[in-house]
Amino acid sequence: MRSEFRFPNATPILMAVILAGVILAIEKATAIEQSFPLAYPQQLPPIQPEHFTFFPAMAVIFLSAYAAAVIGWALLFAMRRSGMHRLSEMPPVQTQK
């Protein structure tokens, strides 16, 4: 099957940069929102610094998914179902001179 349309190689990098910008904007907006009281004050308080709550949560999610994948692979490897045992049983490649 041939595909005529191909994404440029820089697409994942640019998408990651855009996602990081959106996340930083959300964190800053949350900090600004939490700085203001519910009522309209006469004098505005200083804006609180942002507390990056998104990044630690995403780190926990990625690390737990990674740990689950490693445990799953270890179980498959122990049951000899991962395919690694087939590589060791392959005959060596004959090179032509």
Non-local CB neighbours of 47 within 8 Å, separated by 6+ positions: 31, 32, 35
Note the pTM of the prediction, 2 decimals.
Answer: 0.47
Amino acid present at 29: A
pLDDT, tens digit only, all 97 positions of the chain: 566 777 788 888 999 899 889 988 888 888 877 777 666 666 666 777 767 777 787 888 899 999 999 998 888 878 776 666 667 777 777 776 6
**Does residue 62 sit within a domain?**
yes
How is residue 81 annotated by DSSP? -
pLDDT at site 84: 65
**Does residue 79 sit within a domain?**
yes
> Domain tally for the chain?
1
pLDDT at site 64: 93
Task: Look up the domain containing 26 and give its range.
Answer: 11-39+49-83
pLDDT at site 65: 93
**Does residue 22 sit within a domain?**
yes
**Does residue 4 sit within a domain?**
no
